[in-house]
Amino acid sequence: MITTLLYSMTGLILFAMGLFTLIIHSHPLRKILAVNVMSTGVFLILVAAAYKPLGLGKIDPVPHAMVLTGIVVSVSVTALALLLACRVQETSNLDLLERRKQEARPKESNQ
Amino acid sequence: MTAFQLAAPAWMIVPIILPLIAGLFCFLFNRRIFAIALTAALANLLGVCILIYQLLFFGPMRCHMGGWQTPIGITLRTDGPALLMLLTTAITGLAVTLYARGYFSYRILNPRHAARHQQQQRYFWPLWMLLLTGLNGLFLSNDIFNLYVTLELIAISAASLAALSGKPASQLAAFRYLLVSLLGSLTYLLGVVFLYRSCGVLDLDLLQNLMQNAPGIRAALALMSIGLLLKTALFPLHFWLPPAHANALAPVSVILSALVVKGSFYLLFRFWFEVFTPIITTSALNFMGTLGAIAIVWGAIQAMRQPRLKLMVAYSTVSQLGYLFIAFPLTRIDGNIHIWGIVIFMAMAHACAKSAMFMVAGTVFLHLGHDRIKDLNGIRANLPITVFAYGIAGVSLMGLPPSGGFIAKWLLLSSALTSSQWWWALVIIVGSLLAMIYVFRVMSHFFVIPEDYAFTKPTPVSPLMEWPALALALISLLLGLAASWPLYILAQGNVVLAQIFPGGLP
Amino acid sequence: MNWGQWLLTAILLSSFIPGIIIFALPEKKHRLRTILNLCGSILKIILILAMDTGIYFGHNFEIRLPIIPGVELLLNGDPLSALFATLSSVLWLLTTIYAVGYLEGSPNRSHFFGYFSLCVTVTIGIALAGNLITFLLFYEMLTLTTYPLIIHRGTKKSLRAGRNYLIYALSGGAVFLFAVVALQTVVGTTDFTGTGFPSTFIDTHATVLSLIFVLLIIGVGVKAALVPLHGWLPQAMVAPAPVSALLHAVAVVKAGAFGILRIVLDVYGPQNLLLLGVLPLLATVASITILYGSLRALQQDDLKRRLAFSTISQVSYIALGISLIDQPLAVIGGLVHLVHQGLMKITLFFCAGNLAETLGIHRISEMDGVARRMPLTMAAFSIGALGMIGIPPTVGFVSKWYLGLGALAAGNWWVVFILAVSSLLNACYFLPILIRAWFGKQQGSWPEEQYLGRFETRLMLLAPPLITAFIVMAAGVVANAQISPLAWVRFIVREYGL
Amino acid sequence: MTPSTIQMMLHALILSLAAGTPLLMAAICCTPLQKTVARFLPCATIPAFLAALTTPLNVTIDVPWFFMGSHIGLDETGHIFLCLTAFVWFLASFSCHSLLKNDERRVRFLLFFLTAMAGNFGLILARGMLGYYLFFAVMSFAAYGLVVHKETADAAKAGRIYLILVMIGEVALFTALIILAHNTGSLAINDIAGISYHPLTLVLLFIGFGVKIGALPFHSWMMSAYQAAPIPAAAALAGAMVNAGILGWLRFLPLGQISCQQKALFFIVAGGLAAIYGVIIGLHRKQAGAILGCSSVSQMGLITVIFGLGLLSREAGLSATPVLIIYVVHHSLTKSSLFFAYDLAEKQSKTLSHLQMAAILLPALALAGLPFTSGAIAKTAFKELAVGLGEPWYSLSGIFLPLTAMGTTLLMFHFLSILKQTKGTETSDKVASRVIFSISLFSAAIILWLWPMAGNSAIHSLTKTTLLQTLWPVVGGYLLFLVWRRLSSGKKVPSDKQDKQTALDVILPKVTTLLQEKNWQKPQPGKLEPYLHRLVPYLRRSEKIMGRWKVVGLSYLALCLFLLFLLL
Amino acid sequence: MRTEEKIITRSRNRHKRLDAFQRILLLLVICLTTLLGSIIWTMPENPPGLADAVALMQEHSGVKSPVTAVLLNFRGYDTLLEVMVLLLAVIGAWSLAKAHFPQQEREANPVQMGVVRLLVPLMFLVAAYLVWQGSHLAGGAFQGGAILGAAGVLMLVTELPCLRAIPAHPLRIGLVLGPLIFVGVALFCLFLTGDLLGYPEETAGWLILLIEAGCAISIGLTLASLFAGGHPEDERPKNQEQAKGPCKGERP
């Protein structure tokens, strides 16, 4: 029992940490990582549900399968999110450059 | 060959597997993508029609995937709400498919950006087909974890679609959207975990039987609901929706606004009114209603101030979603049985109207090169059908008779008054008034042809862009006159709802 | 479907189908459009006359279209609806002719006439509505179809007017919707029964029903321009003259007044309302409106604006008459004023339009001696104006006479006082116009004079006001004849068993 | 179809033609045939004469389809009034001739003239309330066209006053009729008999018809309108249309069938005041028409007194009716002949000759009741009525009648002195004018003598005492006139402009300013807009804040906790 | 890239001390965690589950490993959708950008090349083994696919010139292969048994193996493609000249 609880609590704390990070940090990469941490936490709780102390029955394979599926989904989403974050960074940098240029122009004309 | 009998539950697979295969082929092939997608959309509609036929004549069905019974297998099921959502998706989907074709071919005509648009079109189709798969899967699925997978399927394809236009704003919005979706999915999954640990099953029917007063189950409901609320963009969690919907390509906006948010809402509806009904408290229902009420007003006010048409329409979605939630507190009344139907019916009417409106916005944008509301004067001269479609869709959004929106609003009002919760009725009325303001703010520009208006003829837009919008708008309008049919479908296999139509179709 | 149902359908379609075709027609096909319009309106009149005959001989016209339980569309031809439908269709024909003449050479005509036809379809729908839900349906559609007409000119002013119209009308519609739902919830039906809902509800739900009545009246009162819900009407006069005619005489304001009639006579029923005791409220509001409208009309220099305020005042006679529900004479006065006011006001607006179109005259101060330039128009105008004041033998007198008699029978002296004061005020704002026009000396040249046609203006502009003016006179002179609005109204009142 | 029905139809036809012919001719005026109409204008009165001659009395014909149901017919009073009115109109239409020849506004004049005529005939024939009201209104409004015909500033002003008062009268009458109809439950005038009158009804009727006869507070239109209108029209106004008011009273307050002591007093006082007041204001006038108007006010005051006496009791009513009619006939004929005299003066470039003056003196002094004139007959009849009523009316009449007679004499001499100075413009048809004047003079002089109804009074007026009694006020009046002229010749008479200032002129501008739109400004819905626009930045900012991750996180967490809390 | 650094440093600085708002957030997070934790605490000791049910049906699944049985047989539909999720990620990624390859071929790093030559075949072998043993032990398509993906990533990291030459179309076929086989098998089963993915009991094991093999390949390719970060070169047939301009695509 204590095993299940330990794993579950750890998972929950991971989830909470991820959540907090996701909320307060603005950098995209941190956010993506935070989400990953969160999902790890959830998977941990899920896997803990499958645990049975020896002799008390069979280990439940369904959470395992679910975690596997979840991981794959998480991987895909993470990949996509990272790519998207990169694109955003690039374009926002480009944007920033252009905006600066534009801001500079009227100043010059004023001078 | 039992699979091909009309009564076979295996028909349920059609709306899932067909778009899936179409999606694969669309990705695989370089040519005739549109033909593939169109075939899939048509076949999807046909499949849904067969399912409705089944429902009407054989009642609700369960389809066990792989032949594995619950609890270990995954079950699909058809019933009224599911089929109505499927039907909405199929109709809107078909229209969007046609519209997207017209949209992309119009854009590709412009030589400067031809390559970019070709590229966009190349990826639009597989993404859209897989999104359709996800949506259909969501509506049909009866398994709480499978729903998570479909949610993710929808989230990823929707986020990719939202980013498709390549504009920085849209990519930023898509990124946010993806993160919010992820947060929502994870919260949902956490709920699933709680539920599984409490009940040990994943099938919704079984869960419904196991419903008991355990804190784990309640926590699970709360977590899943919050996750889904995030995805449904209910106030105050709506922040991601307007930028994502407004900055996407027009067909994408249509899909996102009309269908995607409805998916997660549908789940909420299922959970609150079916699976978890025994443990729902009145205060929680009121809470949802309050959020809905605030959303109605807030969304409408924001829509009123938007300078751009697409943003206006997007905020209107925020507002309209509120109506779906205001129905929650109205269910808890004895004898008030048809509220069920209202929500789905309303979602249906809104889907049609909103997609028509986004199509109009897209067409106008393409035609003028902008969608600033104050510069829209005179567009009527060149795009009469589009403007007409906007008007009709607007009627439905405002809830004026005889539109579907009106019937839905009528039902909501009458439930509110029957249960003497008149304050909800007040909110509904105020909301529709605000809706009138933002709809007509645009309309007044549409209708006016200023005296100095230059009747230039830019490239005529494809009829594929104008007519689907009109068709959808008309459907949303006529839905009001034919409201008994969808409600009848809803009533099938639902003991409570069937009481409304004791003698069959009126 | 039996022939009665076919007839009702045909009545609605006879303007709907031309409307849709006109939308699809290219702008340049003037002649085809005109022919379509005229054929549609003549056909409609014939069909409605057939319906009138049927109603007179007791035939039952009804179409029921259930939508969901508790919500059904019901078209029903009863004497009251026949009254309104006949009025609207006849005036529509005239207005169509007028509009064809008025808009000759202006842009966007297919759009205009398309909405015009739809507008009339909807008005007839209001007339034929058999329950409040159907009424609401057409009532809201009326707002939508008239809006494009109001902003037809596309100027800033007309846009503002259109916006205000929408705000008023749609808010009213929302209140109305609320009230209808509430009524449906309380009573269970909103059908127009002729006697109202069973009076047992009064015992149980008196307060709620009174409240609903007030809300319903507010809902329709916006269109009927009851003070203080009248703000949109004077602004809406920026629309082209045929639209003003439509707003004031054929469709919008009339729809509001008709709604009041329906609510009082059919939804609540005289007995219930007397039990509830809310009618004095309506009478008070109507009286205030009558006086206020007249006083405001006095202040206006813009001719159409003055006419608009006059409408506000005049339409409330209908409400005033119906609020004295226990007096059949007053009810007759109110009901018949529905027709009479329409005839008179449409004449006035036609004439105002003629002045604006031919001479560019918009203000009363520019009208000195205009009758010498346009004697026929001004003759028609004078008849309309005298009718408004209530000078015999015009129809205006007939309405006032019955109203006064009814009021006395009810012992409401103050209503007679209101009538007297209002007549005086009407005279104060109409007679100076006539004096200017007939006896004033022309000052300078007309603002924008055009020579149109063989007569003082285009025949298509001239004929409609002359016809309506003639009807204003004739219907008054033969008020007691077998076929006259008054006779039909008496028939209605008999049918209601008052 | 029985012969009687045919007969009835014939009567109905003739009666409706009496009112219909002028209307028909008015309609023809609008066509190119207008010149013919102008030429045959007097023919418009012929059907009226015909009707008066052929229609049997006290037969009422129902016309149910016409205007909510009408009844037409002639009774004795109506018969007399019809003859009188037709005669006056006949003369007036003859005298229009020169006017119509030169006036470019001929058509308009004809239109109003004929319509007023039709209204006048129609109201006499009407035996239903609404019919009376209808034709009364038609006549009153048509007369406006006659008043303002000259289109001078004075005419416009006179017209305005006239119209305002007419409107007040119409409204009062309308209200009174509604009350009457409500009380009797019928629209026929015959049914009015025997009902009890609410004081309000009486007041309303007084106002309604009093406007027409220039009863005291409503007299102001008379002077200006008589002056402003073309003389033939003024003659018609003074000789024919005024009578419509009296007839109205007779119709709606049927003498001999009602008695109301207190209310009668009201009429008597109002009439008496008017009789004296008319003289007083008349002395300040410098225009012949206006003076005649004032005289009308005064004379109508006398008639009002007679009417009031008739209201005292049923018996008084029965005896007052013939007196009233005699007086009306006398006044109409005399007043119209005075107008035609005025017309004569206007139509010749020379001043009136002595012969002419002498001729004019006859009707002028007849008004004052000079012996051997119709005035004497009328006054005698009046006096006999007062005698019949006993004290205090007898004594009162003993003071009142001579007083008014003196006043009238004074006024008439004033009129004559004005008329003497009048120089008109020479016109070709002054002969016609003379002929018309002669006819009117002749009729004024003899009709009452020949008329059986006035027979008694005529004979009584020839007794010595009566002669004396009627003579001395005239002589006294003349002396008074001499004194007054001497006195006033030194003083500067206030100019016309000033003394035309009526109460209405003072009130109207004040009312107008009160009604000005700027005093009524109310917040427009458009005024809200700036506030809404001011909200926009806040809305934008709040939406932006709500999109921040921190805030999103906060709402997410809060929602989570709250929902958990609600569900647990 | 300066701005990016700035953002990062700023966020680092902010991390040092929590402001009031963040404290509230922290408090709320702790509340939520405590609440959820206490709920987990109160949950029954012996959580109900599907272990027994699965064990009961295990023998009909055609595989010995219960996880694989659940994954590919009992809940095969889930897995089918999950494979689609993976594919979707690739489509999404491709729609966003073009894969980044250096313009000039670089001198191959001998150490890297050595590692690649040594490891990649081994990885293929391990992947095949994992797929094979998935039927009775831990392992399966995902594990195998992950190894394959790793091999691909390794090759990408070394920027092997041959990778640039991989045309898009075969790549697409490779990506779609797994899902296609999956769907194909599912439909085949539908024909045979009337149930989607209702494997006939006798051939279940083989069919599952087939699916696993196909999926492993596709998953490997998917992961590698995701790493490459965009669509391959020939995606813009009409506008190749433009595409060769300044390339924005970048590797994560």
Instruction: Let me know if residue B431 belongs to a domain.
Output: yes
CB-based contact C404 D178, cutoff 8 Å: yes
The pTM score is 0.88
Q: What are phi and psi of B75, to 5 degrees?
A: -115, 140
> C138 and C129 in contact (C-beta within 8 Å)?
yes
How many angstroms separate the CA atoms of B424 and B417, rounded?
Answer: 9
Percent of chain B scoring above 90 in pLDDT: 44
- Say yes or no: E143 and E105 in one domain: yes
pLDDT tens-digit readout, B57-111:
888 888 888 888 888 889 998 888 889 999 999 999 999 999 999 998 888 887 8
Residue range(s) defining the domain that contains residue E209: 61-234
CA distance D124 to D130: 12
Domain locations in chain D as residue ranges: 1-179
pLDDT for res E156 = 82
- The string of pLDDT tens digits covering residues D116-132 is 999 999 999 888 888 89
Q: Which residue of A has its CA nearest to B145?
A: A66
Average pLDDT (B391-398) is 90
Q: How far apart are CA D505 and CA D221, in angstroms?
A: 12
Which CATH number is A64's domain given?
Answer: 1.10.287.3510
What token pair was written down for C246? Answer: 């439509």
Structure token digits, residue E242: 């433009």
User: Does residue B57 form part of some domain?
Assistant: no
How many domains, in total, are found in chain B?
1
- Domain annotation covers residue E121: yes
E132 plus E229 within the same structural domain: yes
Q: Note the pLDDT of residue D524.
A: 53
Calculate the alpha carbon distances from D13 to C479, D73, E122 in Å: 20, 11, 127
The pLDDT of residue C470 is 93
| CA of B210 vs chain E CAs: smallest distance (Å) | 11
Question: pLDDT category, D520, cuts 50, 70, 90?
Answer: low
Q: Which of E31, E91, E222 to mutate to test the interface with B (most CBs of B within 10 A)?
A: E91
Q: Is residue B197 part of a domain?
A: no
CB contact under 8 A, A87 and E97: yes
Residue E75 and residue E32 share a domain:
no
CB < 8 Å to C177, chain B: 409-410, 413, 429, 432
Tens of pLDDT, residues E85-118: 999 999 999 888 777 666 556 666 788 788 888 8
Q: Do chains D and E touch (3 or more CB pairs under 8 A)?
A: yes
What tokens were used for B320?
């309209």
| Of the listed ranges A74-78, B452-456, C50-54, C140-144, the one predicted with least confidence | B452-456
Do the Cβ atoms of D543 and B219 come within 8 Å? no
Measure C481 CA to nearest chain D CA, in Å: 4
**Cβ-nearest to B407 among C71, C175, C184:** C71
Which of C12, C16, C27, C68 to mutate against chain B (most B CBs within 10 Å)?
Answer: C68
**Would you say residue B300 lies in a domain?**
yes
Q: For residue D499, what pLDDT is reported? A: 47
DSSP per position, B270-330: HIIIIISGGG--HHHHHHHHHHHHHHHHHHHHHHHH-SBHHHHHHHHHHHHHHHHHHTGGG
CB contact under 8 A, A28 and B178: no
Measured CA to CA in angstroms, residue C420 lies from C397, C423, D169, D426, E179 at distances of 12, 5, 11, 48, 88
- Cβ of B189 within 8 Å of Cβ of A39? The answer is yes
* Neighbour-count burial of E252, counting CB atoms closer than 10 A to its CB (0-12 exposed, 13-18 middle, 19+ buried): middle
Q: Quick check: do A and C touch, 3+ CB pairs under 8 A?
A: no
Q: Tell me if E78 is assigned to some domain.
A: yes
Is the omega angle on the peptide bond into residue D530 within 30 degrees of 0, that is, cis? Answer: no
- Owning domain of residue A66: 2-110
Range with lowest mean pLDDT among B118-127, B294-303, C93-102, D458-467: D458-467
**Domain assignment present for B243:** no
Q: Does D touch B (3+ CB pairs < 8 Å)?
A: yes
Residues in B touching D556 (Cβ below 8 Å): 183, 226, 230, 237
Q: Enumerate residues 92 to 151 of chain B having a beta carbon within 8 A of any beta carbon in chain A.
A: 145, 148-149
Among partner residues D549, D554, D556, which is closest to A26 by beta-carbon distance?
A: D549
| For range B300-321, the mean pLDDT | 91
- Number of independent structural domains in chain E: 2
Pairwise CB contact (< 8 Å): A75 & E248: no
Interface contact B179-A31, CB threshold 8 A: yes
Does B touch E (3+ CB pairs < 8 Å)? yes
Do E70 and E37 share a structural domain? no
Q: How many CB pairs under 8 A join B and E?
A: 170
Residues 19-38 of E with CB under 8 A from A: 22, 25-26, 29-30, 32-33, 36-37
Higher pLDDT, A103 or D563: D563
How buried is residue C246: exposed, middle or buried, by Cβ count under 10 Å (0-12/13-18/19+)?
A: buried
Contacts of E51 in chain A (CB under 8 A): 50, 52, 57-62
Chains that touch D (3 or more CB pairs under 8 A): A, B, C, E
E15 and E67 inside one domain? no
Q: E134 and E36, same structural domain? A: no
Q: Are A35 and B186 in contact (CB under 8 A)?
A: yes
Taking the C-alpha atoms of residue D250 and residue C369, their distance in angstroms, rounded to an integer, is 40
B269 neighbors B302 (Cβ within 8 angstroms): no
CB proximity E54 to A under 8 Å: yes
Task: Compare all CA atoms of chain A with the CA of B150 and give the residue at the minimum distance.
Answer: A73
Residue spans of alpha helices (H) in B306-452: 309-326, 339-368, 379-382, 384-398, 404-418, 422-447
Yes or no, beta carbons of C70 and B414 under 8 Å apart? yes
Mutate to test the interface with B, among A24, A77, A78 (most CBs of B within 10 A): A77
Which residue of C177, C208, C215, C218 is the best one to mutate when testing the B interface, meaning the one whose CB has the most B CBs within 10 A? Answer: C177
Choosing among B383, B390, B436, which should be mutated to test the C contact, i.e. which has the most C CBs within 10 A? B436
Confidence band for D376, pLDDT divided at 50, 70 and 90: confident
Say if residue D266's pLDDT is above 90.
no
Which residue is associated with the tokens 């739809």?
Answer: C118
Please indicate, yes or no, whether residues E110 and E172 belong to a single structural domain of this protein: yes
Is E204 inside any structural domain? yes
The neighbours of chain C, by the rule of 3 or more Cβ pairs under 8 Å, are B, D
Distance to chain B for E16, nearest Cα, Å: 25
Mean pLDDT of B151-175: 91
- How many structural domains comprise chain A? 1
Helix residue ranges per DSSP H, chain E: 2-16, 20-42, 51-57, 66-68, 76-96, 110-133, 141-157, 161-164, 168-193, 204-228, 240-243
Range of the domain at B411: 281-506
Establish, for the pair of chains B and C, how many residue pairs have beta carbons separated by less than 8 Å: 95
Q: Is the pLDDT of residue B503 over 60?
A: no
Summarised one tens digit per residue, pLDDT across range C103-144 is: 887 877 888 899 889 999 999 999 999 989 999 999 999 998
Q: Does B475 reside within a domain? A: yes
CB E131 within 8 A of CB E141: yes
pLDDT for the residue numbered B506? 39
Partner-chain residue, chosen from B410, B437, B451, that has the shortest CB–CB distance to C154: B451
List chain E residues with CB under 8 Å of D561: 28, 31-32, 35
In angstroms, the separation between the Cα of residue E9 and the nearest Cα of chain A is 10
Residues E129 and E218 in one domain: yes
Residues E83 and E207 in one domain: yes
- Interface probe for C, chosen from D106, D138, D147, D167 (most Cβ of C below 10 Å), is D167
Asked whether residue E50 is domain-assigned, the answer is no
| Residue ranges, chain C, pLDDT below 50 | none
- Decide: D and A in contact? Rule: 3+ Cβ pairs under 8 Å: yes
Return contacts of E127-132, CB within 8 angstroms, 24+ apart: E127/E151, E127/E216, E127/E220, E130/E216, E131/E209, E131/E212, E131/E213, E131/E216, E132/E209
Compute the mean pLDDT over every residue in chain D, rounded to the nearest whole number: 84
Task: Find the closest chain A residue to D553 by CA distance.
Answer: A23
Is residue E141 a contact partner of residue E219, using CB atoms and an 8 Å limit? Answer: yes
Q: What is the mean pLDDT of chain B?
A: 86
Per-residue confidence (pLDDT) for residue D314, from 0 to 100: 85
Q: CA of B16, closest CA in chain D: separation in Å?
A: 33
The confidence score (pLDDT) of residue B1 equals 45
What is the ipTM metric for this complex?
0.86
Q: What is the pLDDT of residue E1?
A: 45
Per-residue confidence band for B351, with pLDDT thresholds at 50, 70 and 90 = very high
Chain E's closest residue to D561, CA to CA, is: E32
Per-residue pLDDT band for A32 (boundaries 50, 70, 90) equals: very high
The predicted-structure confidence for D412-454, as pLDDT tens digits, reads as follows 988 888 888 877 777 777 788 888 888 888 888 888 888 888 8
Please compute the mean of the pLDDT values over residues B400-419 and round it to a whole number.
86
Report the gap between the CA of D547 and the closest CA in chain A (Å): 12
For the segment D166-184, the average pLDDT, to the nearest whole number, is 89
Portion 524-553 of D in contact with E at CB < 8 A: 550, 553
Question: Nearest CA to CA, how far is A101 from chain E (Å)?
Answer: 15
Decide if B230 and D556 are in contact by the 8 Å CB cutoff.
Answer: yes
